[in-house]
Amino acid sequence: MEATATPSRHARGPMASLPGGREEKSPPERTVYMDCNATTPLEPEVVRTVTEAMREAWGNPSSSYPAGRKAKEIISAARESLAKMIGGDPRDVIFTSGGTESNNLVIHSVVKHFRKSHTSRGGMTEHHRPAEGATPHIVTCTVEHDSIRLPLEHAVDEQVAVTFVPVSKVSGQAEADDILAAVRPATCLVTVMLANNETGVVMPIPEISRRVKALNQQRAASGLPVILLHTDAAQALGKRRVDVGDLGVDFLTIVGHKFYGPRIGALYVRGLGERTPLHPMLFGGGQEWNFRPGTENTPMIAGLGKAAELVTENCEAYEAHMRDVRDYLEERLVAEFGEKKVHLNRFPGSERLPNTCNFSFLGPQLQGHSVLAQCRTLLASVGAACHSDHGDRPSPVLLSCGIPFDVARNALRLSVGRGTTRAEVDLAVQDLKQAVARLEGQACAKAAS
């Protein structure tokens, strides 16, 4: 498979004056995009699918005339494509506005179900069930995305107990033993991301699932509530195989713009509304089986379906290409800077996403933000895009993983994509080399003055 191109070249530069006051753009400088964990461009096939749906499927999907039926058919086909990508049942997939909504919907649903179950006299035996009005308890880890962390912190104010389990400083993972040790009688949800957006570390979700299922059998005998398992798969989809059967999860979050699709999302719910409860946050026209009402965004859903279809067809090739380019990037960094100047923030023995490289330059003046500000070719980030306003403060995720403060403060995250080439890696590494040299030169000049 030939890799598709990402928008790694953008026009920049000053305007040149021409006779008569006219201005001419100077030749564009070449830039290299390595921030695919923040977002990805739309695949050309996705753009065509969205455009076609805008033109031909403009009708309300709930309407019976041809344009409405066409829209409904497109939505149904997209649902099937998403289900196939994750090895699930189309009836268990609902469309949402994105990952934030999907994650919030899971938390909202499980807490509401717990409270409804424990105000019902028939839910459990009086001897074993938590006391009426008991506080629901949720277990998560310390490196989750803000769309999990912040709703859970807010839920504490709403009488929900939350345990943030530290990740291992050796593996960078939320270890199954630690997750299970945090469980209480009133635990109703475990939510652990499938792969971390900054380190690329893949979490042991299948093992956590097996352990939770075994524990649920014991809890059922004692009349305790079932623990449901959720994983936010935003960073993993399109980069590695994701199968809900293998993972053993009850909920899985899907985010389109992380795998070259539009900025909407979906939520997988195993046995939607029957085996696994889901309670809507919105009320309206009854779309998505009343679980997520609102007139469907047909063009974006169509694009999401096409992006999922491409992942199903090409995931192995995407993964192999990204791993080759990422590994080459790390080789070039060490070769150009040496191990005394560059530190790869890796966790030996832990599986990583194939596209993610987190590293730090060692030196007091080489903070990540400062290095990127000096770059003229490379487009990248120091970590999660939603933390881009944190200045030179080190990433909480890296600190949680045991990365020393000064190393974490200097961290950069480069995340390559389907179209990133080795030639672009060479350009990016040279740009970094020049950026570091400028910063070190400025520091020497300042010290000498």
Cα 201 to Cα 356: distance, rounded to the nearest angstrom: 9
Radius of gyration of the chain (CA): 24
Bridge partners, 201 (sequence order): 352
Cα 287 to Cα 296: distance, rounded to the nearest angstrom: 7
Amino acid at 96: T
Contact 78, 252 (CB under 8 A): no
Closest of 203, 191, 41 to residue 106, by C-alpha: 191
Write phi, then psi, for 166 (nearest 5 degrees): -65, 145
Catalytic positions are 386
Closest of 82, 115, 110 to residue 96, by C-alpha: 82
Whole-angstrom CA distances from 243 to 6, 174, 250 are: 26, 20, 12
Distance of CA 113 to the CA centre of its chain: 26
DSSP for 366-407, written as a single string: --HHHHHHH-SSEE-BSS-GGGTTSTTPPPHHHHHTT--HHH
Closest of 276, 216, 279 to residue 252, by C-alpha: 276
Cα 259 to Cα 267: distance, rounded to the nearest angstrom: 15
Amino acid at 241: R
DSSP for 286-313, written as a single string: -TGGGTS-S---HHHHHHHHHHHHHHHH
Residue 99 is inside which H or E element, if any? helix 99-118
> In 59-186, which ranges are continuous DSSP H helix?
66-86, 99-118, 146-156, 176-181
Closest of 26, 31, 38 to residue 384, by C-alpha: 38
